[in-house]
Structure 1
Amino acid sequence: MISTPAVPDVDPVQFLKIAGQGAQLRTHADLWRWLQGEVQSWLPHDILLVGWGDFRAGDLQYDIISSLPGLRTHLCPASRIAPLVNYFRDCWVAAQSQPCELDISGCGQLLGEAGQGWAPAAGMPGMHSALVHGMGDSRLGGERIFAALSSDPAPAAGPAALKLLVPFVDSSLRRMPPAPMRQPGAERSQVEHLVVRLGQLSERERQIMVWVAMGKTNPEIGCILRISEFTVKNHMKSIFSKLDVTNRAQAVARLTRMAAYA
């Protein structure tokens, strides 16, 4: 369902402060800190998803800015993100290129399914609302779509706030190199690199964690490593104990948090 709420009054003092900070963004870290700072009181959200490119040709890039475990651009597969970006773009076009509010309770399942391969779905709250806006990209001959996703209902001032914030996000992203997207076939090597950092694990436990982080089940891991499912379960118990976690999602979250601070 698409709605375009009336634009409410905006506090000019607060906007000038946020705008002044937004004009100085130079790195992805700056952008993340800005979005997690006072912007949250003005436009509360869990994920900012930005997609751009030639939507008709399907030639898209994306960037994900979030504090949720595992939600990093280089960890999220394009095959899962592209349908969301396309959906948000279609909604924005249907709203006559105006900022719109979406009920994405159903789309939250798509995000959850995506988590099976790159982020623990159990560790990520379901997204229920999205504020979406976009702009033409004359330089690249395409469009840029901005979606602020939240596990809570969108605030009344959300569409107006997003419309005012989009130029700052857009200009900051243009000033910095795009965050690396996950490349097909690169998942295992990326995960292996991170798992090596878990020095408290044995070699076999590290092998198992690589496949756990890639979304494989115990029976699948057993087949891959040519060991029994029972043996895999015993190794998982040892992994949980060493990492001080109680389930697979927490173990992978530990890994992805290491990626965020690497």
Structure 2
Amino acid sequence: MENTNDMPLGSQAQVEAIVRAAESALEVRRRYQFFVWTQSNLQALLPHQLTICGAYQRQARELVFDAFNSVSVPEALLLGFTNPRGALMQQLQGRWLDARCRPVRLAVSELDGVAVAEHRAALEAAGFSSLVAHGLSRPQRPSEMESFFVFGQQAVAGSGAQQQCHHLELLMPHIHSTWHRVQVQERELRNLPDTGSPLSAAASAQQRAGSGAIVTGRERQILGWLREGMSNQQIGEVLGISALTVKNHVQKILRKLNAANRAQAVARAMTMNLLDRSPVDAGTSD
């Protein structure tokens, strides 16, 4: 396990990337926007394929976690990461506190104890090599966490790993405030209808017309495979259709969800609860 020391920022490009990430965070209001932000602006500074976000909720009186993943991750592993009282998150938070609330990186193999053995094996099987954790606590009360984040990485090595931890320390105030803003906005939207955004209009239409009225069963299935990071060719081979047919489906999905790219389409589909089922079970009707 490593904890960071004061380090130079590095190249001018890295400085500019940090500024862009901080500035673009101000525009993030929704859950899908947060996912897109982490997959674009944060990737250059902290490459990762799994993001675990925790925010303290006063009603629950504990951190409540959510997960974003750009690669396939077993459901049991996601449950382990989102269980605030589970052995996995307790160990990661303990390592962070031991590092005096500085960013910590540990190899997946460093997860110790019988209680996390299954999670360690699942992470290794999914190709993850390291975890980076950081958060924010109340002033003078390090154990009273306001937020806690874990980033799962599949391949990071060398001095760049320490540099990325330093980037995370610089960006943590922005990540913290952005995630809390998203939580507030999502709670408000659950209580008050938002008729102004394209996503809300699509979600409302979906609810009025019933499941699948906007996105077909085949499109839901393709969205599921997009979430797994598969190409048009790979999806076509699985479904027994041509890559061109898959491309046409993807273009329809982007139009229906008013998404600019695949990552945004997946994020919006997640917000609309279109990906609760596996791609195999999502149906095949056109």
Normalised TM-score (structure 1): 0.56
Asked if 1:171 corresponds to 2:214, the answer is no
Conserved? CA contact 2:73–2:126, under 8 Å = no
Structure 2 residue 132 is the aligned partner of structure 1 residue 96: no
Q: Could you say which residue in structure 2 is the equivalent of 1:162?
A: 168
Contact 1:31-1:169 at 8 Å conserved across structures: no
Partner of 2:154: 151
Residues 74-99 of structure 1: CA deviation (Å, up to 9, x unaligned): x7365598332221111111101111
Structure 1 gaps, min length 5: 116-120, 181-192, 201-240, 245-251
* 1:61 match: 64
CA distance in 2, matches of 1:71, 1:167: 30
Say whether the 8 Å CA contact 1:131–1:158 is kept in structure 2: no
Contact 2:133–2:150 (CA under 8 A) maintained in structure 1: yes
Report the equivalent of 1:254.
Answer: 279
* 1:14 match: secondary structure: helix
1:125 alignment counterpart = 126
How many Å separate the matches in 1 of 2:70 and 2:36? 10
Q: How many angstroms does 1:253 deviate by?
A: 4.9
In the alignment, the residues of structure 1 paired with residue 99 and residue 135 of structure 2 have an alpha-carbon distance, to the nearest angstrom, of 11
CA distance in 2, matches of 1:106, 1:34: 29
* Paired AA for residue 90 in structure 1: G
Q: Structure 1 vs Structure 2: percent identity of aligned residues?
A: 21
Say if 1:198 and 1:125 are closer, same or farther in 2 by CA, change over 3 A.
farther
Superposed CA deviations along residues 158-214 of structure 1, whole A, max 9, x for unmatched, are 11111122222211221223789xxxxxxxxxxxx99xx9969xxxxxxxxxxxxxx
The whole-number CA distance in structure 1 between the counterparts of 2:75 and 2:45 is 23
Corresponding residue for residue 49 of structure 1:
52
- Secondary structure at 2:43's aligned position in 1? helix
SS in 2 for 1:50: strand
Counterpart secondary structure, 2:109: coil
Deviates more, 1:4-13 or 1:30-39: 4-13
Contact 2:108 2:128 in 1 (8 A): yes
Alignment-mate amino acid for residue 157 of structure 1: Q
2:154 maps to amino acid: S
| CA distance in 2: counterparts of 1:80 and 1:60, whole angstroms | 6
Change (3 A) 1:36 1:94: same
Partner of 1:32: 35
Q: 1:20 to 1:126 in 2, by over 3 A?
A: same
Q: CA–CA distance in 1 between the matches of 2:2 and 2:18?
A: 26
Contact 1:7 1:159 in 2 (8 A): no
Distance in 2 (alpha carbons) for counterparts of 1:173 and 1:40: 17
Q: How far did 1:112 drift? A: 6.6
Secondary structure in structure 2 of the residue aligned to 1:105: helix
Normalized against structure 2, the TM-score is what? Answer: 0.52
Aligned to 2:87: 83
Deviation at 1:68, TM superposition (A): 2.0
CA gap of 1:254–1:60, structure 2 versus 1, over 3 A, is same
For 1:80 and 1:175, locate their aligned partners in 2 and report how far apart those are by CA, in whole Å.
Answer: 21
Q: Could you say what secondary structure the match of 2:35 adopts?
A: helix
